[in-house]
Structure 1
Amino acid sequence: MTLHLRRVLVLLLLVLAPIPVAARPAWACSCGDNPNPIERAEVAFVGVADDVDPDWFGSQVEVNFAVESVLKGAPGRSVTLVTMKDSASCGYEFVEGGKYRVYANAGETWSCDGNELLSTGHDVSDRPRVIFWGGTAFVLLLVAGGVTWLIRRS
């Protein structure tokens, strides 16, 4: 492999490497008409999201709530619910410290259930940016290592 071709290959890999990290999934979650979510819910309550714990290797998030008032059912003083990680998969993005009106069935809640943010908690607006740049840095390190290996091998 000539030196010029090798340099073009390295440059091409460095330019194209972040593209898979920058791409977002194209899934969609569409909800039907839901005029009264409390009718469909087994449990409904107003509570504060005390702990939002994503399953780093899966697609779900476990959310622990401190129940302030009960709208339907008997949730107890605290409730742990499961939802998907992102809204594209019909998950509801809860923020720690946020106060919500929550509608749930069988220990799960989704974006189509009619959940409502009543007051904000901690600001996590930088989380997607951190994930994006962390993933980009990881891919660039992998590409740089692969390119270094290729150069030393030839």
Structure 2
Amino acid sequence: MFSHLRRALVLLLLVLAPISVAGSPAWACSCATGFDPLERSEVAFVGVVEDVDADWVGSDVEVEFAVESVLKGDPGSKVTLITAEDSASCGYGFVEGGRYQVYSVGGATSSCDGNELLARMHREVEDRTRIFWVGSALVLVAVAGGLGWLIRHPRKTQ
């Protein structure tokens, strides 16, 4: 009886442990602080992300913005900037439909440049949250069902 319970607990830990790990970001990027992002940038604007296109190699992301207002420089009505794909490389995680205040140098931007999310499409955020919780509930139901089956059907030893 105790060996089945031990196996069930180990199975439960193996299934549930990645859930908490998957939700927490790993930060390896280190940024300087105490600077004025507008002064440091070549181009600054407020715009809405129209497209986020990851490079097929997987190191850079091209982000296309529809410019609403210009704070510095002359970006035009549309601008495409490069950022690193992951936050560990100081990439900024732009989301399609999000409205941002963006600071850029040399056609690129990063999480260290002072970019700021001003508004996000609420439906997209709600959908991602709902998917996470429904998926978590399904995993818990599957684990509970498996544990119940293991407890009710112990292995017969000879």
1:70 maps to which residue?
70
Cα 1:95–1:25 change in 2 (3 A) is: closer
Q: Percent identity?
A: 65
Deviations 1:2-53 (A, max 9, x none): xxxxxxxxxxxxxx9xxxxxx8996610101143101110000000001111
1:121 maps to which residue?
120
Cα 1:107–1:122 change in 2 (3 A) is: same
SS at match of 1:88: helix
Deviations 1:67-96 (A, max 9, x none): 000000000000000101121110000011
Shift of 1:122: 3.7
Distance, in Å, in 1 between the alignment partners of 2:57 and 2:125 is 22
Cα 1:98–1:26 change in 2 (3 A) is: closer
CA RMSD of aligned residues (A): 3.9
Consecutive unaligned residues in structure 1, runs of 5 or more: 1-15, 17-22, 131-154
Runs of 4+ deviating beyond 4 Å: 23-27, 123-127
2:83 maps to which residue?
83
**Alignment length, in residue pairs?**
139
Q: Is the CA contact 1:34–1:114 (under 8 Å) kept in the aligned structure 2?
A: no
Distance, in Å, in 2 between the alignment partners of 1:52 and 1:92 is 11
TM-score (norm 1): 0.63
Amino acid at match of 1:88: A
Amino acid at match of 1:90: C
**Which structure is larger by alpha-carbon Rg, 1 or 2?**
2
TM-score (norm 2): 0.61
1:3-152 equivalences under 5 Å are: 28-118=28-118, 120-122=119-121
